[in-house]
Amino acid sequence: MADERTVRVLRADATYVGKQGLTYALGVTSGTAESRGVCLTTATMPPGARAKAHHHEAIDTVGYIIAGESLILYGEALEYAIVAAAGDYFFIPSGLSHAPLNRSGAPCTFVVAHAAGDDQEGIVMRPELDAVPIPA
């Protein structure tokens, strides 16, 4: 019986808009590469972009900022904020509400991975938090 598994190379020229409102490169997902327990993609937030508040149910999120910086609002009421800048890694545990945003004048490009086959899997939107003001 032949081994039908194969290595896949995916070009980052296809994009989609996630439930969070950000535009992502198609990346490695269960739909593009039959990935089962991890997915990997990239996104660029233009100046002023803000993701819709959400959390990932039972799915951890990790990322790396390639260029620019992101202010990540997080917490049950997005009451906390932390800056991740170029060269920084970030970790967001499953179930923690968050909303990354770009309050700078330059684009923020990042790599993001989720402990699921698809980055849109397990997302719980938190629209009641979308109006939380950006801290000064």
pLDDT tens per residue across span 4-52? 789 999 988 899 999 999 999 999 999 999 898 999 999 999 999 999 9
Candidate from 4-8, 126-130, 131-135 with smallest mean pLDDT? 4-8
User: What are the percentages of helix, strand and coil residues in the chain, rounded to 5?
Assistant: 5, 40, 55
Average pLDDT over residues 96-125: 96
> Exposure pattern of 42-61 as b/e (b: 16+ CB <10 Å)?
bbbbeeebbbbbbbbeebeb
pLDDT for res 1: 59
Q: What is the pTM of this model?
A: 0.91
Query: What are the tokens at 118?
Result: 């698809």
Mean pLDDT of the chain: 95
- Domains of the chain plus CATH, in order, are 15-129 (2.60.120.10)
Q: How many CA atoms lie within 13 A of 52 on its CB side?
A: 14
Residue 3 has pLDDT above 80, yes or no: no
Average pLDDT over residues 43-69: 97
Residue 116 has pLDDT above 90, yes or no: yes
pLDDT for res 86: 98
How much of the chain, in percent, has pLDDT values that exceed 70? 99
